[in-house]
C-alpha cells in the first residue's frame, strides 16, 4: 500500500517546481488568452441546460464554438468551477492537472515497458522538456497541454490490448482515443500517423495478426464515443469561416523551423515568424539531446538484441519524422495533404518529438545500472535543472486584463476575440449592438423577452407586416416558431443574424437551436458507444460472492 501511495507523491514532487508560478493571485500574459472566455461560455451553456454544448451564446451574437473546438478540457473546467473556483483559478487548476496527469501517464507507460526506474526518467524528460514550458507559460495553450496526457495513455492501453485481448483493454484503448479526439483536433491529426507506427510495432512484436482486429474495434468504439463532436465538426465545417484558421499569420508556410533552432538554447516570449529569427524557442533541450545520443550508442552496442533494436528503430524513425515535418524540406507533404494546413504551425510537432524522446529515455534507463547508474541520476538532475528556469511567465497581468473575456458586454462587442468559428453568413462584425428583436421593415412591439444559451422567446405585437431581426447569428439548427407554426428563416443580412417575416397580429415567438440530423446521429452513436463501454467494463469486473 505504501508503494502505491509513494509513486503519486514522487510524481507530485517531480512536477511541482514547474507549477509554482501558478500559485499566485494573478494570472500571466500568454499568446492564447481566449481560453478564459471559452471556460466562461462552457459554464454558461451547461448551466442553461445545453448538452452537449455546441453554441457559445455571448461571443458577439453567438457562435458554434464547441461544435468545432474540442470540448473535453472545458467540460472538466466547468466541473471545477462548480466547486466554487473563479475562472482564473479554473484555468490554473486545469494547467496543473494536465502537468500532473501527463507525468503520471508517461510514468505508467515507461514503467510498463521498462520498469519503475525508467518510468521516473521518462516522466522527468516529459515534464521538463522546454516545449512544455512554451506551451504553458508562453503560448498558454490549454488544450494542447491536455493532449500530452493522452499520448502515453493511448500507447499504454495499446500495449495492454496487444498482450491480452479482453473487453477491458478494448475499452481502455477506446476511452483513451476518445479522450484525445475530444481534447484537441489538431493534435489528433498530428498524432495518428505515429500511433499507426506504434501499432505496427506491437503487431510485429507480439506476432499476432488478430491484434489488428481488436485495435480496429477499439478505434471504432473510440470514434463512436466522440461521435457527438467529430461528426458535426467534420460535416458542418463548411458552415464556418475556416479561412481564418489557415491564412495570414496562421499560414503554415511561415512557421517552419531551421534545424539549428532545435539545438539552440535560445529562450524567448515572442512570436513565431518567417525565417530562423523567431522570438519563440524551439529547442529540444540538452538532457533530451543527451538521451538521443545515448540511445544511438546503445543501439549500435546492442545491435544483436532484436527487441531493443526494433524498439529503438521505431522510436528513431518516429523522432526523425517528427523533426522533418517541422522543416521546410517537408513542404511537399504539407502541400499534398490539404488538411495539414489546419495544423497552422509545423513546430507543433515538437509535442510529438518530446513524447518520443521521453519514451526513448525510458528505454535508455534499462541499461544505466551498476557502473552507469550515476549517469541515470545525472540525467534526472540535468533534465530538471537545465530547463526549470523556463517554467515561469514573462510577467503577470493586471487584475483587469482578463475582464474583457469574462464580461458579457465585452464578449458581445467581440473585443480581442478571434473569428475562427464565425458562421459563413457573418460578413460584417461592426455596427451598433442591439439586444432584443427589432423590425428592419414595419413596426413591432416586443415584450416578455426571455433567453438562454439556445433559445429566445418573446411576445410580439406586429403593428404592420414586418421583417424581424433577432440578435442571434444564424447557423443550421436554429428554427423560429410563432405560436405553433413554423416560420421560414430568410437569408441573413451581411451581419449574419436570423431574420423572418410576420404579418400583422399578436404572436408568441420562440427562436430555438435544435440538433441537425448529423448532430442527432452523432449523439445517438455516442450514447450507444458509452453504454457499450460501460457494459464491457461491467462484465470485466467479477461479481462479489454472496456471504
For residue range 367-382, list pLDDT tens digits in order: 998 888 999 999 999 9
What CA–CA distance (Å, rounded) separates 183 from 101? 14
For residues 237 and 259, give the distance between their C-alpha atoms in angstroms, rounded to a whole number.
35
pLDDT digit string, tens, across residues 419-469? 778 999 998 888 788 999 999 999 999 999 999 999 999 999 999 999 999
- Whole-angstrom distance, CA of residue 188 vs CA of residue 170: 19
**Complete DSSP assignment for 246-267:** TSGGG-GGG----HHHHH----
C-alpha cell at 53: 454544448
Residue identified by cell 421593415 is 441
Q: 545 pLDDT band (50/70/90 cuts)?
A: very low
pLDDT(292) > 50: yes
- CATH entry, 438-514, from 2.60.40, 2.40.128, 2.60.120, 4.10.240: 2.60.40
DSSP output for 205-220: HHT-TTHHHHHHHHHH
C-alpha grid cell for residue 55?
453554441
Percent pLDDT > 70 in the chain is 97
Which residues 6+ apart lie within 8 Å of 20 measured at CB? 391
Which of 141, 148, 238 lies closest to 191, judged by CA? Answer: 148
- 356 near 315, Cβ under 8 Å? yes
In this prediction, residue 147 has a pLDDT band, given cuts at 50, 70 and 90, of very high
**Whether the Cβ atoms of residue 363 and residue 295 lie closer than 8 Å to each other:** yes
- The residue extents of the domains of the chain are 2-388, 438-514
CA gap 502, 510 in Å, rounded:
13
C-alpha cell at 397: 497581468
- CB 334 within 8 Å of CB 348: no
Cis peptide before 159 (omega within 30 of 0): no
**Interior CA angle at 354 toward 321 and 149, to 5°?**
115
In DSSP terms, 445 is beta-bridged to 461
- Mean pLDDT (the chain) is 92
- With a CB cutoff of 8 Å and minimum separation 6, the contacts of 25 are none
Q: Structure pTM?
A: 0.94
Question: Bridge partners of 502?
Answer: 466
Amino acid at each position: 500500500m505504501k508503494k502505491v501511495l509513494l509513486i503519486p507523491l514522487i510524481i507530485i514532487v517531480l512536477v511541482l517546481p514547474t507549477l509554482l508560478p501558478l500559485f499566485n493571485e494573478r494570472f500571466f500574459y500568454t499568446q492564447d488568452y481566449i481560453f478564459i472566455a471559452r471556460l466562461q461560455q462552457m459554464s454558461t451553456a451547461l448551466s442553461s441546460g445545453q448538452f452537449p454544448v455546441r453554441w457559445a451564446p455571448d461571443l458577439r451574437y453567438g457562435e458554434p464554438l464547441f461544435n468545432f473546438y474540442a470540448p473535453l478540457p472545458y467540460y472538466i473546467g466547468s466541473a471545477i468551477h462548480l466547486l466554487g473556483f473563479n475562472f482564473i483559478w479554473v484555468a490554473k487548476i486545469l494547467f496543473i492537472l494536465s502537468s500532473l496527469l501527463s507525468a503520471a501517464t508517461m510514468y505508467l507507460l515507461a514503467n510498463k515497458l521498462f520498469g519503475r526506474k525508467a518510468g521516473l526518467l521518462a516522466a522527468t524528460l516529459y515534464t521538463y522538456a522546454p516545449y512544455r514550458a512554451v506551451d504553458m507559460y508562453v503560448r498558454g495553450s490549454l488544450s494542447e497541454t491536455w493532449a500530452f496526457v493522452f499520448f502515453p495513455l493511448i500507447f499504454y492501453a495499446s500495449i495492454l490490448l496487444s498482450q491480452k485481448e479482453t473487453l477491458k483493454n478494448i475499452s481502455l484503448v477506446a476511452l483513451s482515443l476518445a479522450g484525445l479526439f475530444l481534447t484537441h483536433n489538431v493534435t489528433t491529426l498530428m498524432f495518428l500517423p505515429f500511433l499507426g507506427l506504434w501499432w505496427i510495432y506491437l503487431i510485429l512484436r507480439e506476432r499476432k495478426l488478430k491484434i489488428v482486429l481488436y485495435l480496429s474495434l477499439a478505434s471504432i468504439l473510440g470514434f463512436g464515443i466522440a461521435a457527438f463532436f467529430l461528426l458535426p465538426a467534420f460535416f458542418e465545417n463548411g458552415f464556418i469561416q475556416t479561412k481564418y484558421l489557415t491564412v495570414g499569420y496562421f499560414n503554415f508556410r511561415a512557421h517552419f523551423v531551421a534545424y539549428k533552432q532545435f539545438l539552440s538554447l535560445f529562450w524567448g516570449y515572442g512570436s513565431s515568424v518567417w525565417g530562423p529569427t523567431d522570438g519563440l524557442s524551439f529547442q529540444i533541450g540538452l538532457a533530451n539531446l543527451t538521451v538521443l545520443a545515448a540511445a544511438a550508442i546503445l543501439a549500435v552496442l546492442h545491435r544483436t538484441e532484436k527487441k531493443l533494436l526494433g524498439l529503438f528503430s521505431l522510436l528513431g524513425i518516429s523522432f526523425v519524422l517528427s523533426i522533418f515535418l517541422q522543416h521546410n524540406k517537408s513542404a511537399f507533404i504539407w502541400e499534398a495533404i490539404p488538411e495539414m494546413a489546419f495544423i497552422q504551425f509545423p513546430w507543433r510537432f515538437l509535442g510529438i518529438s518530446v513524447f518520443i524522446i521521453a519514451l526513448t529515455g525510458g528505454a535508455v534507463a534499462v541499461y544505466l545500472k551498476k557502473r552507469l547508474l550515476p549517469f541515470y541520476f545525472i540525467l534526472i538532475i540535468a533534465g530538471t535543472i537545465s530547463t526549470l528556469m523556463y517554467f515561469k511567465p514573462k510577467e503577470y497581468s493586471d487584475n483587469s486584463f482578463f475582464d474583457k473575456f469574462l464580461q458579457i458586454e465585452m464578449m458581445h462587442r467581440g473585443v480581442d476575440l478571434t473569428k475562427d468559428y464565425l458562421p459563413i453568413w457573418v460578413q460584417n462584425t461592426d455596427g451598433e449592438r442591439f439586444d432584443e428583436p427589432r423590425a428592419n421593415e414595419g413596426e413591432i412591439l416586443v415584450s416578455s423577452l426571455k433567453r438562454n444559451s439556445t433559445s429566445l422567446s418573446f411576445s410580439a405585437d406586429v403593428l404592420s407586416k414586418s421583417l424581424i431581426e433577432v440578435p442571434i447569428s444564424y447557423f443550421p439548427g436554429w428554427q423560429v416558431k410563432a405560436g405553433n407554426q413554423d416560420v421560414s428563416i430568410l437569408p441573413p443580412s451581411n451581419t449574419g443574424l436570423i431574420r423572418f417575416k410576420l404579418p400583422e397580429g399578436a404572436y408568441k415567438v420562440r427562436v430555438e437551436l435544435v440538433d441537425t440530423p448529423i448532430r442527432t446521429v452523432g449523439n445517438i452513436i455516442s450514447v450507444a458507444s458509452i453504454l457499450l463501454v460501460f457494459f464491457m467494463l461491467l462484465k470485466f469486473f467479477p461479481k462479489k460472492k454472496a456471504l
